[in-house]
Chains A and B, each alone.
Chain A
Amino acid sequence: MSSRRTETGGRIDRLRTIRFTFDGAPYTGHAGDTLASALLASGVTLFGRSFKYHRPRGLLAAGVEEPNALVTVLRGDVREPNIPATMVEIYDGLVAVSQNRSPSLAWDISALNQLGGKVLSAGFYYKTFMGPVIGPLKGTRFWMFCEHFIRRAAGLGRAGTAPDTSRYERMNAFCDVLVVGSGPAGLMAAKAAADQGARVILAELEARFGGSANWSGETIDDAPAADWAGRLVGQLEGNDNVRLLPRTTVWGYYDGNTLAALERVTDHKEVAARGEPRQRYWAIRAGTVVLATGSFERPLVFPGNDRPGVMLAHAAERYANEYAVLPGERTVVFTNNDSAYRSAVALKKAGAAVVAIVDVRSDVSSEMSRLASEADAELLAGHAVVATEGGKALTGLKVQRFDLTSGALSGDERSIHADCLAMSGGWSPTIHLASQAGARAEWDPGRQAFLPPQPTQRWIGAGAFTGSFSTAEAIAEGRAAGLQAAGGTASLAPLPVVEAVPGDPDPAPVFEIKAKGKSFVDFQHDVTAEDVRLAHREGFVSVEHLKRYTTLGMATDQGKSSNVPGLAIMAEALGKPIPEVGTTRFRPPYTAVSIGSLAAERFGDLKPERLTPMHDWHIENGATMYSAGLWYRPMIYGLAGETVEQAYVREAKATRESAGIVDVSTLGKIAVQGPDAAEFLDRVYTNMFSTLAVGKARYGLMLREDGLAFDDGTTWRLGEQDFLMTTTTANAGKVMQHLEYFLDVIWPELKVTVTSVTDEWAGAAIGGPKARAILAACVKGTAVDNAALPFMGIVHGEIASVPVMICRLSFSGEMAFEVYSGAGYGTRVWEALIEAGKPFGLVTYGLEALGTMRIEKGHVTGAEIDGRTTARDLHLDWMLSKKKPFIGSAMMDREGLIASDRLQLVGLVSLDNRPFNGGAHVVEELDEANPHGSIGHITACCYSPALGKYIALALVKGGKARHGTRAFVSDPLRNRFGPIEIVSNHFYDPDGSRMHG
């Protein structure tokens, strides 16, 4: 393959040679090259295969809109699929491979799909593969059989599974003015805003600022446009108020002028510096946004327009001017507007032969004729390209006379030998960001393009984005926009003098040349003009139907170049003007963004860990931890060789026989303070708290407004106006919000503060027959005997010189105490208790033993208060005060909530002495083969050391009436069936003699 690199020119650094590979073959390029330009310079023209027909494809574009040249970039085992070669900056060691081809890019077996041609037209799948109506392949089977192959054939790149070790980061930014796009308009806007002293961010998706100035070949203030741009960038760099973000694509315009941008920080580097993220996700809250995002050139639709070698005119120009690469030696330009004449001249200047300019318009202005001769090109006005020739690369094309008004072709076909066809179908402003926010774009019949909608948020447009396609206009608009965005009145920056190639910005309204052969509209998805017409015939005429029926615009390029031609063809089929057809909805992201960047700092760190003060102690002392929400809690403290069941049975047994201690720091704790605290609690809890004496605690139950059970816990009265409420671990946040809502919104007259003090207190619950003796051995400053510390009493004292608060209450059913200390002292107090407990056989126990003991006692937790149960269902109706209203009281007696067949809490005993499983169901009649007739389910189960049986808590229909009856556990998921007895949920010590002591 021959080198297409020009001798001079371009903005590449010829002194720096970079080595990389593509499909395993080594190549070189220069700093400043993209993968596309470097390969093109090396003579590569075949870059990819299309989605459906696997047709050979070359470069269409030079920027983000590239639909054909998608590659996978490899970093070791880490794959990055579907990246346009035009957006990959080369670096030493870059490894890129082509996609969607087998065995190789040049010889792709699936290209046979093309033979399916007309059968594989739009809507093909909906009409077939239903399979036989009867027999083994009926139903979904036949389709699934076919689908298996279809799925394998579909898809572009292959995603990797190797972990990506890169880091991704988020930045929150605030500015007065965000300028998106750094072409002449954007640069000038940034400068004007910065001159006013505004905080400015300038984001440009390309590596280099300047936009079209980098390749337009125009002159600004007597210098090449690129130099002018460079000067401006230099001035902006020196301004403290300005943040310049190159390689940063603003991809989303969200409510509240919040914009999302992706900065590719190290994608162009061989290695990242320490701690440097691969990509940075900028969430930018902007006062005002200047949208200076430029425009896209559109392809023309004609037979063979997808052959490698056919590309957009400005792309050809850009390869020549910016990258010093000639896309072809013999070039033909095909256009419906003036802009391509400039491209022709540029290509000529760069050293290509411009054989002809084919213009669909018959009357071409004298200026354009002059440009044609300047390019040394034959001007074929009133002509159109009707076919292209060649295999995997363009070798020639055919032109015919074309009538602009009728679209008719006439005369003989003439063949022209060419290896590059530079086409221009006019320009579409890049209105994506403006449209994302919701407003509809407006069709401009002069520009033959959708122009930006009226702003729905605070943005101002400038430059080609607004349809102002000349550089002088772009600069003037940019300055005005920057000034206005910064709230200034007089600009400091003078307007430069632009010398540009002249041209009429309005194209002829020609989108398609109708001739024989496949004419592509959506290149990546192989949607042809015929597909659009088929959609029309079948009634899929709305643009949104057109899109979904043909998949036009649904590929990785999101139809950046193809949408307008596609809907123009539909408009013609309908005989309607384009504005009545409309355009499909623009959605974020503007260009695809990596999922890693969106997860940003949470990649690999989804949720923080919540640790109790004694966490490290538990780990050091052999606890197996259990994750409960964000918390970690000891599950068991297993001894060597113990199973989980052996461990919790040992722990529970020891607790009931002597004493056990458990970390309860995760319980939600809320300080409820103020003169109205007691009144507030009376309203919030179903039972009474205003009658609670200072120094005492009470078990409380809360309902939701709708009358269902919400949460339970003990609340301690520490002072007349000072309560400490505890909640379940899982509901702590919810209860807090519930209380705050009522205080703020419903009862603002109550003087109460609620504060989360969960983290203030370390809590240890110590229970068992020896618990009091252990406390007595280590607590100073207070007695803990029955008189000083009766059931539900609270005392203050010291353990290990640390102030503690002790409340005598019990979850385990034993004589038990909760010892609270400042969290910073938690481990110290915990260790002191354990030390004191040694002579008494104190064990540490975890959640499993805790659960076991609560099941034995029949206490409820979140498994039973599951948002569907009432106080009555759980036999907590004794807590429903009749003396006062409370949250939920008005709603709790509705018919559905008091029905007799509701699920009610019961106990179950295994009669076959085999363990239960959580989530098993209960049935009256066992039918293992065909389980049915569930009357309830198990919420919690364990082996009960106290009873010597496998037991469970369950919610069973009309459960209370079933005490003493037999039934079966039915657990088809785990194939466990067997007889049970339904009993009261209070298995153990039902009259509470143990805890009352």
Chain B
Amino acid sequence: MVERQSPLEPAYHPGSHGNFEHGVDVILSETRPGSILQLAAWPGEEKRLIDAIRKVTGLALPDGAGGGVSNGGRAAFGFAPGKFTVVDEAEGLASAFAGVITPDIGTVTDLSHGRTAIRIAGPKAEWVMAKFFAIDFALPAFPLGAGRSTNHHDVFAQIQRSGADQFDIYVFRSFARSFWKALCHASEEVGYEVH
């Protein structure tokens, strides 16, 4: 397959930055998954859709609003009533769902190009995230695997907690560079490294 161009490219500077002499407290990276899908169930069909996700990806979504799982290569979480984001390292996940999510269950929308995945990890990840989003990042309020949709002014974001101190942020591709720059700027205080 042809390599995709990252929207972050000219602003993506691997290495240590900001106040890193006093320790690097967050690590920023672009994870570049091959597939990012949005699955939507018609009201009442959520359970079948969740089953389908399990069948295709092996990810068993916990019940409840915003529930999700992430296992490194693959991740899924609910972000809206009846709506889920499913992510895979590999390309081509949409076709795997094509026959499974039948029109009576819901729809599949491929957003693999349209969303950019940014990961923030480290002891100060919550601190830096709190600079952007008015949601509670503490572990009890935002458990492992869970997803949230929120926004930072004009930038809409879906966020999944993929580790105790790690978050994956999905933003619209056209906003990604601006958001990335802002994220780097906000991380300077705690010292950051770009992988």
Assess A/B contact in the complex (Cβ within 8 A).
yes
Are the C-beta atoms of A822 and B189 separated by less than 8 Å?
A: no
In Å, the complex CA distance between A173 and B154 comes to 21
Contact partners of A827 in chain B: CB under 8 A: 5
Are the C-beta atoms of A631 and B111 separated by less than 8 Å?
A: no
Contact partners of B182 in chain A: CB under 8 A: 601, 605, 608
> Is A343's CB within 8 Å of the partner chain B?
no
Are the C-beta atoms of A274 and B175 separated by less than 8 Å?
A: no
Contact partners of A157 in chain B: CB under 8 A: none
Contact partners of A478 in chain B: CB under 8 A: none
Minimum CB distance partner of B83 in chain A: A753
Of residues 1 through 56 on chain A, the ones whose CB sits less than 8 Å from some CB of chain B are: none
Minimum CB distance partner of A762 in chain B: B113
> Is B96's CB within 8 Å of the partner chain A?
no
Are the C-beta atoms of A169 and B2 separated by less than 8 Å?
A: no
Contact partners of A800 in chain B: CB under 8 A: 2
Minimum CB distance partner of B172 in chain A: A759
> Among B103, B106, B113, B177, which residue has the most Cβ atoms of chain A within 10 A?
B113
> Is B130's CB within 8 Å of the partner chain A?
yes
Q: Which of B57-65, B66-74, B132-140, B158-166 contacts A (4 or more CB under 8 A)?
A: B132-140
Query: A164-185, CB under 8 A of B: which get 1 and which 0?
Result: 0000011111100000000000
> Is B115's CB within 8 Å of the partner chain A?
yes
Query: A812-828, CB under 8 A of B: which get 1 and which 0?
Result: 00000000001111111
Contact of A823 among B38, B109, B173 (CB under 8 A): B173
Contact partners of A255 in chain B: CB under 8 A: none
Are the C-beta atoms of A823 and B106 separated by less than 8 Å?
A: no
Are the C-beta atoms of B186 and A174 separated by less than 8 Å?
A: no
> Is B89's CB within 8 Å of the partner chain A?
no
Are the C-beta atoms of A174 and B141 separated by less than 8 Å?
A: yes
Contact partners of A605 in chain B: CB under 8 A: 182, 185
> Is A898's CB within 8 Å of the partner chain B?
no
Of residues 570 through 627 on chain A, the ones whose CB sits less than 8 Å from some CB of chain B are: 601-602, 605, 607-613, 616
Smallest CB separation, B149 vs chain A (Å): 13
Contact of B19 among A276, A285, A602, A721 (CB under 8 A): A276
Minimum CB distance partner of B175 in chain A: A608
In Å, the complex CA distance between A439 and B54 comes to 53
Are the C-beta atoms of B153 and A602 separated by less than 8 Å?
A: yes
Contact partners of A616 in chain B: CB under 8 A: 9-10
Contact partners of A671 in chain B: CB under 8 A: 109
Contact of B130 among A173, A274, A602 (CB under 8 A): A173
A275-B190 contact in complex given A171-B131, A608-B182, A674-B107, C-beta closer than 8 Å: yes
> Is B178's CB within 8 Å of the partner chain A?
yes
Are the C-beta atoms of B5 and A828 separated by less than 8 Å?
A: yes
Are the C-beta atoms of A825 and B4 separated by less than 8 Å?
A: yes
Minimum CB distance partner of A669 in chain B: B114
Are the C-beta atoms of B107 and A753 separated by less than 8 Å?
A: yes
In Å, the complex CA distance between A808 and B185 comes to 44
Are the C-beta atoms of B107 and A609 separated by less than 8 Å?
A: no
In Å, the complex CA distance between A479 and B87 comes to 50
In Å, the complex CA distance between A276 and B172 comes to 29
In Å, the complex CA distance between A613 and B130 comes to 29
Minimum CB distance partner of B156 in chain A: A756
> Is A933's CB within 8 Å of the partner chain B?
no
In Å, the complex CA distance between A106 and B135 comes to 53
Are the C-beta atoms of B178 and A609 separated by less than 8 Å?
A: yes
Minimum CB distance partner of B108 in chain A: A673
Are the C-beta atoms of B174 and A611 separated by less than 8 Å?
A: yes
Of residues 705 through 759 on chain A, the ones whose CB sits less than 8 Å from some CB of chain B are: 721, 751, 753, 755-759
Are the C-beta atoms of B114 and A277 separated by less than 8 Å?
A: no
In Å, the complex CA distance between A982 and B42 comes to 53
> Among A823, A826, A828, which residue has the most Cβ atoms of chain B within 10 A?
A823
In Å, the complex CA distance between A827 and B155 comes to 23
Contact of B174 among A277, A602, A610, A675 (CB under 8 A): A610
Interface size class of chain B, counting residues whose CB lies under 8 Å from the partner chain: 35 or more
A608-B178 contact in complex given A602-B153, A613-B5, A823-B114, C-beta closer than 8 Å: yes
Are the C-beta atoms of B134 and A275 separated by less than 8 Å?
A: no
Contact partners of B175 in chain A: CB under 8 A: 608, 610
Of residues 5 through 34 on chain B, the ones whose CB sits less than 8 Å from some CB of chain A are: 5-7, 9-10, 18-19, 21-22
> Is B51's CB within 8 Å of the partner chain A?
no
Are the C-beta atoms of A759 and B173 separated by less than 8 Å?
A: yes
Contact partners of B97 in chain A: CB under 8 A: none
In Å, the complex CA distance between A756 and B115 comes to 11
In Å, the complex CA distance between A757 and B110 comes to 9
Contact of A169 among B111, B131, B172 (CB under 8 A): B131
Contact partners of A174 in chain B: CB under 8 A: 136, 138, 141
Are the C-beta atoms of A274 and B113 separated by less than 8 Å?
A: no
Contact partners of A755 in chain B: CB under 8 A: 38, 40, 109, 111
Minimum CB distance partner of A169 in chain B: B131
Smallest CB separation, B107 vs chain A (Å): 4
Are the C-beta atoms of A757 and B109 separated by less than 8 Å?
A: yes
In Å, the complex CA distance between A881 and B52 comes to 41
Are the C-beta atoms of B177 and A169 separated by less than 8 Å?
A: no
Contact partners of B6 in chain A: CB under 8 A: 824
Are the C-beta atoms of A283 and B134 separated by less than 8 Å?
A: yes
A802-B2 contact in complex given A169-B131, A171-B131, A675-B103, C-beta closer than 8 Å: yes
Are the C-beta atoms of B110 and A824 separated by less than 8 Å?
A: no
Contact partners of B186 in chain A: CB under 8 A: 169, 601
Are the C-beta atoms of B154 and A760 separated by less than 8 Å?
A: no
Minimum CB distance partner of A609 in chain B: B178
Contact of A172 among B10, B135, B187 (CB under 8 A): B135
Query: B40-55, CB under 8 A of A: which get 1 and which 0?
Result: 1010000000000000
> Is A630's CB within 8 Å of the partner chain B?
yes
Contact partners of B136 in chain A: CB under 8 A: 174, 285
In Å, the complex CA distance between A197 and B53 comes to 39
Contact partners of B190 in chain A: CB under 8 A: 275
Are the C-beta atoms of B103 and A760 separated by less than 8 Å?
A: no
Are the C-beta atoms of B40 and A753 separated by less than 8 Å?
A: yes
> Is A273's CB within 8 Å of the partner chain B?
yes
Smallest CB separation, A725 vs chain B (Å): 13
In Å, the complex CA distance between A801 and B19 comes to 44
> Is A761's CB within 8 Å of the partner chain B?
yes
In Å, the complex CA distance between A274 and B17 comes to 10
In Å, the complex CA distance between A238 and B155 comes to 37
Smallest CB separation, B1 vs chain A (Å): 9
Are the C-beta atoms of A613 and B173 separated by less than 8 Å?
A: yes
Are the C-beta atoms of B154 and A608 separated by less than 8 Å?
A: yes
In Å, the complex CA distance between A616 and B10 comes to 9
Minimum CB distance partner of A677 in chain B: B107
Minimum CB distance partner of A721 in chain B: B103
Contact of A609 among B38, B131, B177 (CB under 8 A): B177
Minimum CB distance partner of A610 in chain B: B174
Contact partners of A823 in chain B: CB under 8 A: 7, 113-114, 173
Contact partners of A613 in chain B: CB under 8 A: 5, 7, 173
Contact partners of A285 in chain B: CB under 8 A: 134, 136
Are the C-beta atoms of A170 and B5 separated by less than 8 Å?
A: no
Contact partners of A761 in chain B: CB under 8 A: 113-114
Smallest CB separation, B26 vs chain A (Å): 12
> Residues of A with Cβ closer than 8 Å to B?
169-174, 199, 273-277, 283, 285, 601-602, 605, 607-613, 616, 630-631, 671, 673-675, 721, 751, 753, 755-762, 800-802, 822-828
A-B contact pairs, 28 of them (CB 8 A): A173-B130, A275-B187, A285-B134, A285-B136, A601-B131, A601-B185, A605-B185, A607-B153, A608-B153, A608-B155, A608-B178, A608-B182, A611-B174, A611-B177, A630-B154, A631-B174, A671-B109, A673-B109, A674-B42, A755-B109, A755-B111, A757-B111, A758-B172, A759-B173, A760-B113, A822-B113, A824-B113, A824-B173
> Residues of B with Cβ closer than 8 Å to A?
2, 4-7, 9-10, 18-19, 21-22, 38, 40, 42, 103-104, 106-107, 109-115, 130-136, 138, 141, 153-155, 172-175, 177-179, 182, 185-191
3 tightest Cβ-Cβ pairs between the two chains A and B: A824-B4, A275-B188, A760-B114
11 A-B pairs besides A275-B18, A613-B173, A823-B7 with CB distance below 8 A are A174-B136, A275-B190, A276-B19, A601-B182, A608-B178, A755-B40, A757-B111, A759-B114, A760-B173, A825-B4, A825-B113
